[in-house]
Chain A
Amino acid sequence: MLYREAGQFKTNYVADQAIFPIRQDRIGMAIVLLFAWVIIPAFGTDYFLEIIMINFLFFSLAAIGLNILTGYTGLISLGTGGFMAVGAVASYKLAVIFPDLNIILVFLLSGLIAAAVGIVFGLPSLRIKGFYLAVATLAAQFFLDWLFLRFDWFTNSSTAIEGVPKTLFGFLVTGPDASPFAKYYVALGFVTVFALIAKNLVRSAIGRAWMAIRDMDIAAEIIGIRPLPTKLLAFAISAFYSGVAGSLMLFLFYDSAEPDLFDINLSFKVLFMVIIGGLGSILGSFMGAAFIVMIPILLTLAPDLLGLPISSDLAKHLEFMIFGALIIFFLIVEPNGLARLWQITKEKLRLWPFPY
């Protein structure tokens, strides 16, 4: 179907303020939701649901969180892995200490704890920016890594933290024995709700304040934006998203994880998603997550399908090379990432077949 906005006049601002003002976008969104909520769980294999979809979903949430901080507010963070660790550890501790606590509350409270930690590590952002802030968040990452390894109170004296089995509406939804089907729906529920919330935030006053700080902090202050609370709120919300993503990662994907799973490599992985997907785009966060989750899987599957078996070492090397090349490409050529390329395609389609 053609993508057009010609002929669609906004009769009032209400229509123009709608989340997807253009009809084709609304239809597209409805189709995506239909696939996510009905078709994929109905036809997807366990492997597809777990290794691809759940993996993609919790990374999407983490990428949205980092995008709020880096893409929308312009504050570079290398601490995402640390905030995810806080979420994962917090949900493990909460689930163990309060066995009757609803699993949804466990995840949300873990997010809040991560948000509090995010605020603390966001404090330097009032004084420093750019490279120095990146280093400060890196310090946060290393500090949190160290904390969880050093004090085994966090892991209940074990080497690993675990996804505690929990039920929701009578179904087992977490732990090693829960079905991928049930886990998928929990992940999807969280991602649907929090993606919507993120979209709402970035198109509201707070989102404009974030972008104002990002684009020109001096001018932002002159129109009355208080820099510190605005930046700290970005840190808090970003860390909340990372924290919940960390909880989902542990409870719905790994079931058991050593804290060093959430190391600096994880931070970089999420940062790559945001750069490749598109800084300052919620849609881009999904695209980046899908891309980075799929590449390694394709690299393991495709050669076999093509009859060109390659060693897993080579596949790993190829993965790094492809990521590296893409990061450089997007940083230099298209800082707004896949989301921008998609938008350009839409703009072309809109005018097609008459480019004038």
Chain B
Amino acid sequence: MTAATLERSAPPAQSEAPTPNARRNFSEELLKVEDISLSFGGVKALTNISFDIRKHEIRAIIGPNGAGKSSMLNVINGFYHPQVGTITYKGQARSQMRPHEAAKTGIARTFQNIALFKGMSTLDNIMTGRLLKMRRNFLWQALYWGPALKEELEHREKVEAIIDFLEIQAIRKTPVGRLPYGLQKRVELGRALAMDPELLLLDEPMAGMNVEEKEDMCRFILDVNDEFGTTIALIEHDMGVVMDISDRVVVLDYGRLLADGTPDEVRANQQVIDAYLGVSHD
């Protein structure tokens, strides 16, 4: 297991003094999935899954390959439509929606296999994250002047702040197709952040990274959660990372929910140890 260097600052239960902002006690539900079942032809990807994600927490989803983790994120952001089950988001039962509609409600995500716009620069990729917030129609854009230029500059400023935050100033104008893997993952996080999301879904943001890159990525995730209060659902294989940065963990196995609880609870769960932790210690 990776040597854990990042410690979660004061877990909510043990903090003596109340935290400056009371958001470390996650009581308010942001999203709840109930009895979700999803199958592709004969393959059951998800069976009767129920759990919730509370405002401002970091929620990890773990499980062996093929357990249905990515499918779960795809259900949440409207990419897959489960045959059974309900999704409640911000207190309202959500009807079937397309991904672009989910985006409008404040859900952003990154992909397990990077899904950047390869022909565009880092800056342009992150700028696309602002598209929903840009109001001027194409006739204004054709002029690139007045209100259209002002809007473009406002959003550029936001994006530059994200570029500074992720420390990718040097590759601002580089086409992302030419960037190494680790940096591409970072740009993809930047694009999701540019959407000012309320719920950020990260599908294996640290897969294939070396220790240093992982530490950077952990720091970014913790900072985003801390500074902007963004709720994060995160799929990750590295148990060290999961135990360090997440507030609560869902464990999936063969499309079923195996366990749900704090990192300590999950770590102690015998079924989890058998199904997952046991094999991942290599």
A interface residue numbers (CB < 8 A to B): 13-14, 17, 19, 197, 200-201, 203-209, 211-212, 214-216, 218-227, 233, 237, 280
Q: In the bound complex, how far is the Cα of B174 from the Cα of A284, in angstroms?
A: 20
Q: Does B111 contact A (CB under 8 A)?
A: yes
The segment from B57-65, B151-159, B270-278 found at the interface with A is B151-159
Query: Are A211 and B144 interface neighbours, CB within 8 A?
Result: no
Query: Are B156 and A17 interface neighbours, CB within 8 A?
Result: yes
Q: In the bound complex, how far is the Cα of B117 from the Cα of A203, in angstroms?
A: 15
- Given contacts A13-B153, A223-B128, could you give 17 more A-B pairs where the C-beta distance is less than 8 Å? A201-B141, A201-B142, A204-B138, A204-B144, A205-B127, A208-B120, A208-B128, A211-B117, A211-B120, A215-B117, A215-B120, A221-B98, A221-B103, A222-B102, A222-B109, A223-B132, A223-B192
Query: Are A222 and B149 interface neighbours, CB within 8 A?
Result: no
What sequence of 0s and 1s flags, for each residue 115-136 of chain B, a beta carbon within 8 Å of any chain A beta carbon? 1111110001001111110101
Closest 9 A/B residue pairs (Cβ): A224-B103, A204-B141, A215-B117, A200-B144, A219-B115, A224-B132, A205-B134, A221-B99, A197-B142
B interface residue numbers (CB < 8 A to A): 77, 79, 98-100, 102-104, 108-109, 111, 115-120, 124, 127-132, 134, 136, 138, 141-144, 148-149, 152-153, 156-157, 160, 191-192, 195
Q: In the bound complex, how far is the Cα of B145 from the Cα of A19, in angstroms?
A: 11
Known: A216-B115, A219-B117. A206 touches B144 (CB 8 A): no
Query: Are B143 and A212 interface neighbours, CB within 8 A?
Result: no
Query: Are A225 and B131 interface neighbours, CB within 8 A?
Result: yes
Return chain B residues, CB-CB under 8 Å to A222. 77, 79, 99-100, 102-103, 108-109, 115
Query: Are B100 and A225 interface neighbours, CB within 8 A?
Result: yes
List, sorted by A's number, 25 A–B pairs whose CB atoms are closer than 8 Å: A13-B156, A13-B157, A14-B149, A200-B142, A201-B138, A204-B142, A204-B148, A206-B138, A206-B141, A208-B124, A208-B127, A209-B131, A212-B131, A214-B117, A215-B117, A215-B119, A220-B128, A221-B100, A222-B99, A222-B103, A222-B108, A223-B103, A223-B191, A224-B131, A233-B138
Return chain A residues, CB-CB under 8 Å to B131. 205, 208-209, 212, 223-225
Closest B residue to A279 using CB positions: B119
Query: Are A211 and B119 interface neighbours, CB within 8 A?
Result: yes
Return chain A residues, CB-CB under 8 Å to B143. 197, 200
Least CB distance from A6 to B in Å reads 14
Closest B residue to A280 using CB positions: B119
Return chain A residues, CB-CB under 8 Å to B157. 13
Q: In the bound complex, how far is the Cα of B116 from the Cα of A214, in angstroms?
A: 11
Query: Are A204 and B152 interface neighbours, CB within 8 A?
Result: yes
Closest B residue to A194 using CB positions: B142
Query: Are B116 and A219 interface neighbours, CB within 8 A?
Result: yes
Least CB distance from A63 to B in Å reads 18
Return chain B residues, CB-CB under 8 Å to A212. 117, 120, 128, 131
Return chain B residues, CB-CB under 8 Å to A215. 116-120
Known: A223-B131, A223-B132, A225-B100. A14 touches B153 (CB 8 A): yes
Query: Are A211 and B124 interface neighbours, CB within 8 A?
Result: yes
Pick the residue among B104, B118, B156 that contacts A224 (CB under 8 A): B104
